[in-house]
Chains A and B, each alone.
Chain A
Amino acid sequence: MRYIKLIGAFFKVSAQAEMAYRVNFFLRLFYAFLNLLTGVLSLVVIFNQVEMIKGWDLPSAMGLLGVYLLLGALRGLFISPSLESVAGMDGEIWQGTFDFTLLRPVDKLFLVSFRHWRIFALVDLLIGLGVLGYAIHLMGAALTLGAVIHFIITLLCGVILLYAALLAFSALVFWNSGFLFTWVINDLFQLARYPLGLYPGWLRLILTWIIPVGLMTTIPAQALAGSLSTGMLILTVLFTIGAFLGATWLFRQGLQKYASASS
């Protein structure tokens, strides 16, 4: 399909642009390492004090960390670079060059979601997989096929939810072009580092049904540990579909707003 070929072209151009910036492959490697270190060390420090928090032990918490890193890597691979190029600091809305994007004979949502890639995120992806793998090793007990399937489904849901959340927040820029909405959701995503169960009830509700950062990592981690109920699985899938539709609707509304008010 044409759109798949287009993704290929975008990927290629982004790779070229990235390599044009010889700003330190090593610097980025350093930051990736720092990220990994703080993540793992945090868990070590916490579980040095307690064996279990609200039903989560070190292996399962590490599994969640792995999911968190994986999602972060996917976000950094194309979701963030593409959306921030429109809604972020020095983005097209900020600079007034969004008109060019609007004029392209390609679906705007597609363009805005897949246009820019940062291939270094592949390293982050590997690190995330590594942590996940280590967590599975720590969990020891056999991974059932059911758990793996549940895990893959919920992980996919997590990615789509993250995309929907970022898309929705990015769309808000059409109504208030000066505010960096994407930073809000990126900050809130940090709450996804730890299982939902740790947070007080009122926060848990917010992080599940309103800004579902909790769903993104806790559910897949539960699936991996085999403790996800089928009911919750179905609920998650339905919610993900709803969130995706809602976010895309919001974005298209934003486009309309832009085209009736831009001067």
Chain B
Amino acid sequence: MPESIIQVQDLTKIYQVPERSPGLGASLRGLIKPQYRQVKAVTQINFAVDLGEMVGLIGPNGAGKTTTLKMLSGLLYPTEGTAHVAGYTPWERQPAYLRRISMVMGNRSAMNWDIPPLDSFRVLSKIYDVPENAYKQTLDELIALLDMEALLKKPVRNLSLGERMKCELVAGLLYQPDILFLDEPTLGLDVAMQRRLRQFLKQYNQSHAVTVILTSHYMADVTALCPRVILIHHGQLLYDGALQSLAEKLAPFKLVKLQFNTVVDDFDGFIQQFQEIEHLPKENGHHTLRIPRGDVAQVTARLLQQLPIADLTVEDPPIEAVIDQIYEEGVL
């Protein structure tokens, strides 16, 4: 069994945040004896990622995803715990390590805005010591994959958000890193562009065996790209495994949508006989019932028998709704 390329053990990050009470007296006191409050951003997380895997790091705002990513990329020192990425300790920031990783952030730009992207790429190739022909080859490949030929000569400030993201990806990949950290890469992009970038990432991951850790608010990113998710909430790792199983675990029910031939009186009354079935608000003329997974077969059989049903479908609850629920209720 090959050793995992990313190994995280008991990783913890506690921030000391200065406390600032209002008022002049408090400010003076704070000057002499500053008060600190401990914020536990990440607490004792453990996981391992294999070469070439694409893992989604999900969780609500402030859960600790970005903090974790920053520790793995070496931008942040942990308070406790260890991490090994490609055999290095990230926060030592050894040049050899930095050459093998890449971080692309959706809301921040690594480009020089006054010059065409090509020039920024060239400087980066020099910083990363990429040999000339390797640079040309990689660049050509990326430009073709992302369909960016037309953008190359325009100054970055004149590009749209989507075009800029393409540039950020090229900037992040032109030195062929082994590990790619993506922090909200599709933030603010329109649906078509999001899809385009997802396609690219999937293709790239498959053809180059790049290990990818991705954080995103858009569940569509995660469902499209990450067979495996790690759920972090309140700094703790709550789940690590297949996305599908997470949904099943969190929301152990299915949605049954019904349409009737004729008007049915007292449908609610009828439902009452089944415990644990919820009658959800009517949508587009469909009645929706939420039924525990185990009971689905039995209940649908009864419904079909006893009601004039024109149409019946059984669905999984949308993952977004499931995840939203966790985000809101904070429970697993």
Contacts and interface: CB of A to CB of B under 8 A. Distances in A.
Interface of A: 2, 5-6, 9-10, 13, 16-17, 20-21, 95-97, 99-100, 102-106, 256, 259-263
B115 A13 contact: yes
Nearest to A261: B15
The size class of the interface chain B forms with chain A is: 35 or more
Interface string B96-113: 111101110100111010
5 contacts: A9-B127, A16-B119, A97-B108, A103-B98, A105-B97
Given A6-B127, A260-B76, 15 more contacts: A17-B112, A20-B155, A97-B108, A97-B110, A99-B75, A100-B110, A103-B98, A103-B103, A104-B98, A104-B127, A105-B96, A105-B99, A260-B77, A261-B15, A263-B15
A96 B75 CA distance: 13
B95 A105 contact: yes
Nearest to B77: A260
A96 B114 contact: no
B67 interface: yes
B73 interface: yes
B159 to A, nearest CB: 14
B135 interface: no
Contact of A263 (B67, B101, B109, B126): B67
B109 A97 contact: yes
A2 B76 contact: no
B76 A259 contact: yes
Given A99-B103, A105-B99, A2 B129 contact: yes
A103 B76 contact: no
Contacts of B114: 17, 20-21
**A interface secondary structure, majority:** helix
A199 B114 CA distance: 44
Contact of A10 (B15, B16, B109, B123): B123
Contact of B75 (A5, A17, A262): A262
B127 A259 contact: no
A10 B126 CA distance: 10
Contacts, number: 76
Interface in B239-287: none
Given A16-B115, A16-B119, A261-B15, A106 B127 contact: yes
Given A96-B108, A103-B103, A6 B76 contact: no
B75 A105 contact: no
A10 B119 CA distance: 10
A17 B157 CA distance: 12
B235 interface: no
A242 B323 CA distance: 57
B198 interface: no
B128 interface: yes
Interface string B54-89: 000000000000010010011111000000000000
A82 to B, nearest CB: 13
B41 interface: yes
Contacts of B76: 259-260, 262
Contact of B115 (A10, A20, A103, A104): A20
B93 interface: yes
A39 B40 CA distance: 56
B195 interface: no
Contacts of A104: 98, 127-128
Among B15, B114, B155, the most chain A Cβ lie within 10 Å of the Cβ of B114
A262 B66 CA distance: 11
A251 to B, nearest CB: 15
A259 B77 contact: yes
Given A20-B114, A105-B128, A106-B127, A13 B119 contact: yes
Q: Closest 7 A-B residue pairs measured CB to CB?
A: A105-B98, A105-B95, A17-B114, A100-B110, A9-B126, A260-B77, A105-B99
B122 interface: yes
A115 to B, nearest CB: 9
Contacts of B120: 13
Contacts of B99: 105
A260 B77 CA distance: 5
Contacts of B155: 20
Contacts of B102: 103
Contacts of B96: 105
A10 B120 CA distance: 10
Contacts of A256: 77
A95 B107 CA distance: 11
B112 A13 contact: yes
A99 B115 contact: no
B200 interface: no
A259 B95 contact: no
Nearest to A97: B108
Contacts of B327: none
